[in-house]
Structure 1
Amino acid sequence: MNKTVSLDEIPYSPDSCERFEALRELPGAAFLDSSYPHSSSGRYDIMCAQPVACPEQPALAATETAWQQYFDELRRFHKDYYGTVQPASQDIPFCGGLLGALGYDGGNSLNQVSGAPPATRNSGGHLAAYNWAVVQDHLLQRAVMVAQPSMREADRNDVLSRLRSQRRVKHTEFQLGGKFESNFTESEYRSAFESVQSYIHAGDCYQVNLAQRFNAPFTGDPWTAYRQLRRTASAPFSAYLSFENNDVMMSLSPERFLSLHGNHVQTVPIKGTRPRYRDSGADRLAVEELKRSSKDRAENLMIVDLLRNDLGRSCIPGSIHVDALFEVQSFPTVHHLVSTISGELSPDRSAYELLRDSFPGGSITGAPKRRAMEIIAELEPDSREIYCGSVMYISADGRMDSNIAIRSLLCTDNDIRCWGGGGIVADSQWRQEYQETFDKVGKFLSVLEEMS
């Protein structure tokens, strides 16, 4: 049965943080943030709360079959619960549906990788089903609340009242209990790097993404930390998600994983990084160095080939194209080398099969994917949890978008964790790779330490 959603116009705000603060106390509050106006490429911001029950993920130690069935159950739930929903508008990307995060470690089961560090409660899925959302369109300077017919009228009126109120929110302090510490010493990182190099020279793999984790104790409100980080390192695929047990995920990711609009699939991998400099001349030199780097171009091309293969599992044969190769995109703290691959989804496939058969993203594993993941499981001392997983939505009308959860932080049990990694290839140098992990997240760590 076709369903029609309802739309309520609400006052537009250039800063969606102000809108989200009216909803943040509601259960399951989620904010997908394009970082406008700090990010020039930002357009849509999505806010929602009050999720309903949807299929639970299997245990993280479950088999590949159990995880395959989980995605089948999500697809069935989506069809049964939302039915056939007519798009509210081409300018409304999410009208209710499934939204949340998948942790990297669930990908180990999907790819039959054993021997990984012990999983945590944030290693798997945090997907929830939502009946309504607030969408801010910064291009059209329009804000709407879009609701499914299943949303109760009393809940709708309550949310609209919150959104239209002008109440001031008092911000709570955020403070670290000490400086960030890594789970690798410099010598331990070098030893792990040399192990990766041995595998590469033996022909076992071509590239492995090796990451270190930084953590520190904290007190206070993670939202305060997120707002400060957002001003420092804005990115178009950012997010702030509230989980159970008062856990919070903050992502300031510049990287799209998979999008699906109609039948059009797109993935935009990042491989190749240089730090930003305040001096404009030095900054331009960094861009030119990145453009000319044969090492970074080779690293990028390996992942482009891997992702073409991943899309080939779900897309119509012959429809996959590399639309852009080795473009430099600049963000507040780094320059990146970026490529774009697209295809047309096969008629017998949905967003759930596309996601399942491509997860986790190849840009943060290495190539070939499964062998790279086995080496990551062997060498990294702790589970990745939400890092290198994905924040995503699959709208009730079938539209999907998702990020690679790099530049992400996890607040759990008064501990804040942040990861930094990089792809290692045959001609990598360990000191440069070690420094690159700091180039990517060092600014995040210093900003939070300066708040204390």
Structure 2
Amino acid sequence: MIREEFLRLAAEGYNRIPLALETIADFDTPLSIYLKLADEPNSYLLESVQGGEKWGRYSMIGLPCRTVLRVHDHTVSVTHDGVETERLEAEDPLAFVETFKARYNVPTIPGLPRFNGGLVGYFGYDCVRYVEPRLGKCPNPDPVGVPDILLMVSDAVVVFDNLAGKMHAIVLVDPAQPEAYEAGHARLQALMEKLRQPITPRRGLDLTRPQAAEPVFRSSFTQGDYENAVDTIKEYILAGDCMQVVPSQRMSIDFKAAPIDLYRALRCFNPTPYMYFFNFGDFHIVGSSPEVLVRVEDNLITVRPIAGTRPRGATEEADHALEVDLLSDDKEIAEHLMLIDLGRNDTGRVSEIGSVKLTEKMVIERYSNVMHIVSNVTGQLKQGLTAMDALRAILPAGTLSGAPKIRAMEIIDELEPVKRGVYGGAVGYLAWNGNMDTAIAIRTAVIKNGELHVQAGGGIVADSVPALEWEETLNKRRAMFRAVALAEQTPEG
């Protein structure tokens, strides 16, 4: 962008203007760029693997963010460079998020990647309480104690093009600052200089060594208590109270490795459409979610229900047999069809009449440890609504709550012993251009104070078998614990 164009955009009223440099990056990877430029608090790395086997085209590396928005219950706090600049009580924190984002008036620049910054982070499961007052405050203790919402103002980002082997470094510039254009380009040049420096070597993660035993975990449930919860849900279903509920258990272990090494192991063992690493300073989030919560791109809403699970087979023949078994399981099919209907209904609440479509129905997607039944629902966002309206309508996903959704969540409050926190919420971004891309926070670890917490659950219907439901939660956490074992290898073995 030449200086005259920058000044023209400033005169048009834009208060943040992206400046960018494009460069060949065939000697770098998204992970090496993160380690060179962003390995500090309030940074992130977002990657994607499509269909469990092909890397998505773009990876996003968020440089340390100076401005961070946090919400605990209804208390909103905004900090800049670690100093609190705003603190208020918000009846609807989601509305505050929308007005906060609107403070940043950013033009769309031709030739730049579709994502060039925005609000990046997560909305926890309990954000639904801002939308559904009937649920009230979460009645359960919160031993992990992370914010209900944490969003970073991402104003410096590297977008890595995995196909072309090139990257865009993008910084947002405030044109009201003195010499803003020159300072922005100076920052870009400084980033390029840092990229030319050698990376500090990290220890190798040896895949040839014998697999360490899975760590012994501390659960929020005993197996007996979890199975009793399943039986209680079945009683509610038989009484006509609900059709499905999705309980979960939290599994916690001591964790001594570097969180980035866990991400390295996880992207090897369990590549998924949503890979993410967040360094929030006092805690980290590391995840490999297979499931979109809601995506809004050019006003097209997408949700992608996943329900129905089998472990992967040891051979191609065994894998195929498990697929056939999954697709012929009446319980799994009934559960999935119920969640397709819920996805259609949620999408329809914020879509133009007649625009909701089921574009894929009950296809199998394979991941490292499990396979799932997956469908795809789309709708055209109603005129006058925003991506945040879509989030309100869809969070939490039916696959993490049940049907009917509000009654299912009341039962979850009754039966689960701890507040869910990040689990079952939304991880991703709200882009400056109005687009949104969020994953459901599953297959996700929260690392804080030397402990790692991962949560897993499953949909309960009338004919669920309690012991098998317990086993399903163990299967879903297996890839994460395998990655933990690799990340915690000692160099000597």
Could you tell me the TM-score, scaled by structure 2's length?
Answer: 0.84
Task: Show CA shifts across 1:235-261 (max 9, x none).
Answer: 11010001142x000111011111111
In structure 2, what is the Cα distance between the partners aligned to 1:320 and 1:283? Answer: 33
Whether the 8 Å CA contact 2:43–2:278 is kept in 1: the answer is yes
1:235 to 262, 272, 287: 272
1:172 positional shift: 9.6
Q: 1:87 to 1:116 in 2, by over 3 A?
A: farther
Instruction: State the alpha-carbon separation in 1 of the partners of residues 260 and 52 from structure 2.
Output: 17
The corresponding residue for 1:145 is: 169
Q: 2:58 aligns with which of 22, 25, 44?
A: 44
The CA deviation at 1:353 is: 1.7
Q: State the distance in 2 between where 1:332 and 1:101 align.
A: 25
Change (3 A) 1:34 1:191: same
Question: Aligned AA for 2:160?
Answer: Q
1:71 to 94, 97, 103: 94
* 2:139 counterpart of 1:116: yes
In 1, the alpha carbon distance for the partners of 2:246 and 2:214 equals 30
CA shift, 1:146, in A, is: 2.1
Instruction: Quote how far apart the aligned CAs of 1:38 are.
Output: 7.2
Q: 2:126 aligns with which of 73, 87, 105?
A: 105
| Segment of structure 1 superposing worse, 133-142 or 209-218 | 133-142
Give SS of 2:335's match. helix
Give CA-to-partner distance per residue, 1:262-289, whole Å, 9 cap, x none: 1111111111111112211111101111
Amino acid paired to 2:167: A
**Larger Rg computed on CA atoms:** 2
Is contact 2:38-2:64 (8 Å) kept? no
One-letter amino acid matched to 1:338:
V
Distance, in Å, in 2 between the alignment partners of 1:369 and 1:177 is 34
The answer to whether 1:253 aligns with 2:267 is no
Residues 218-227 or 100-109, more deviating:
100-109
Q: Structure 1 residues 38 and 325, CA, compared in 2 at 3 Å: closer, same or farther?
A: closer
Give the alignment partner of residue 34 of structure 1, picking from 25, 35, 48.
48
- SS across alignment from 1:32: strand
5+ long unaligned stretches in structure 1? none
CA shift in 2, pair 1:302/1:123, >3 Å: farther
Partner of 1:17: 31
The question of whether the paired residues in 2 share the 8 Å contact of 1:237 and 1:255 is answered with yes
Q: Residue by residue, what CA displacement relative to the aligned partner does 1:156-185 show, whole Å, maximum 9, x if unpaired? A: 333332233232333499x99962222221
- Partners of 2:200 and 2:62 lie apart in 1 by 20
Three-state SS of the structure 2 residue aligned to 1:73 is helix
Whether contact under 8 Å (1:217, 1:415) holds in the other structure is: yes
Preserved CA contact (<8 Å) 1:51 1:131? yes
CA contact (8 A) 1:5 1:88 kept: no
Match of 1:7 in 2: 20
Q: Give me the whole-angstrom Cα distance separating, in 1, the residues matched to 2:74 and 2:214.
A: 31
* Residue of 294, 316, 328 corresponding to 2:330: 294
Give the fraction of aligned pairs with identical amino acids, expressed as a percent.
29
Counterpart CA distance in 2 for 1:142 and 1:36 is 20
SS at match of 1:167: coil
The letter of the residue matching 2:223 is E
Partner of 1:382: 418
- Count residues with an aligned counterpart: 446
Aligned to 1:170: 202
Could you tell me how far apart the structure 1 residues matched to 2:214 and 2:322 are? 35
Q: Aligned partners of 1:312, 1:129: CA distance in 2, in Å?
A: 30
Q: Which of 184, 193, 197 is matched with 2:230 structurally? A: 193
Give the structure 2 partner of residue 323 of structure 1: 359
Counterpart contact for 2:458–2:469, Cα < 8 Å: yes
CA contact (8 A) 1:264 1:344 kept: yes
Please state if 1:429 is matched with 2:465.
Answer: yes
Matches of 1:288 and 1:178, distance apart in 2? 32
Distance 1:316 1:118, change over 3 A: same
| Structure-2 separation of matches of 1:304 and 1:228 | 33
Measured in 2, the distance between the counterparts of 1:170 and 1:55 equals: 32
Indicate the SS of the match to 1:216: strand
Question: What amino acid maps onto 1:419 in structure 2?
Answer: Q
CA distance in 1, matches of 2:250, 2:113: 37
1:24-52, CA deviations, whole angstroms, 9 ceiling, x for partnerless residues? Answer: 33331111121589731522211112324
Root mean square deviation, CA, Å: 2.7
SS in structure 2 at match of 1:355: helix
Aligned to 1:438: 474
Q: Which amino acid aligns with 1:46?
A: M
Aligned to 2:344: 308
- More displaced 10-residue stretch of structure 1: 336-345 or 35-44: 35-44
Give the match's secondary structure for 1:317: coil
How far did 1:300 drift?
1.2
**Could you say which residue in structure 1 is the equivalent of 2:218?**
181
Output the TM-score relative to the length of structure 1: 0.91
Task: Name the CA distance, whole Å, in 2 between partners of 1:38 and 1:325.
Answer: 18
Q: Secondary structure at the match of 2:437?
A: strand
Q: Residue 49 of structure 2 contacts residue 272 of structure 2 at CA under 8 Å; is this kept in 1?
A: yes
Report 1:348-359 matches (<5 A): 348-359=384-395
In structure 1, distance between residues paired with 2:148 and 2:170:
29
* 1:104-134 deviation line (CA, Å, top 9, x unaligned): 1232343232453123532511111111211
Instruction: Please report how far the alpha carbon of residue 221 of structure 1 lies from its aligned counterpart in structure 2 after TM superposition.
Output: 0.9
- Cα distance, 1:13 vs. partner? 5.4
- Label 1:297 to 1:37 Cα distance change in 2 as closer, same or farther (>3 A): closer
Query: How far apart are 1:232 and its partner, in Å?
Result: 0.8
Which shows bigger deviation, 252-261 or 139-148? 139-148
Letter of the aligned partner of 2:365 in structure 1? Q
Q: Which amino acid aligns with 2:368?
A: P
